[in-house]
Amino acid sequence: MDDPSQTISGPFGRFTRQANGLIYFYKQDDLAIDTSTAQNLLDVIHALDDSGAARILVVQGHGVEYSFNAQRLLLKNDVIGMVAYVIQTSTQYLTAELLQDMAKSFKSQIKVAIFQDIEAAEVWLLEEGSEK
């Protein structure tokens, strides 16, 4: 990808791939993620990074919900390699923790971690991602 930064926005929020190779996903508040929305998210991620191991930094919105099938699709795909959830509230933590637990239950190859600040999430994605 020649362009060091690229942004795609939609009803789900904003995705930006930065020069460091990470994709930052700022989720829209009050978002219900069903299978169709999850597939749209994966399509956007693939458009920004077609390596099959995209590293995503997710800044959680408020009031975000996932259907079970959406969770499974997002955690069992060949587009994402790592996801770092950046949370600010206890509700956001519970949502991200559920996704982290679901990744283990599904035996997902995707590494999932939870952070309270963007900088720590970036370090994890860049350092862990370079070990692959």
Tell me the pLDDT tens digit for each residue of 89-111.
988 898 889 889 999 999 999 99
* Tokens found for residue 113: 């971690």
Is the full-model pTM beyond 0.85?
yes
Q: What are the boundaries of each domain within the chain?
A: 6-130
Nearest CA to 41 among 61, 53, 56? 56
Residue 55: phi, psi to the nearest 5? -105, 115
Give 6-130's CATH code, choosing from 3.40.50, 2.60.40, 3.30.300, 3.30.750.
3.30.750
Nearest CA to 29 among 39, 50, 14, 41? 14
Nearest CA to 23 among 96, 82, 105? 82
Question: How does pLDDT run across 29-86, given as a tens digit for each residue?
Answer: 999 999 999 999 999 999 999 999 999 999 988 888 899 999 999 999 999 999 999 9
Q: What is residue 108's predicted lDDT score, i.e. its pLDDT?
A: 93
Three-class DSSP category at 127: helix
Nearest CA to 28 among 9, 56, 5? 9
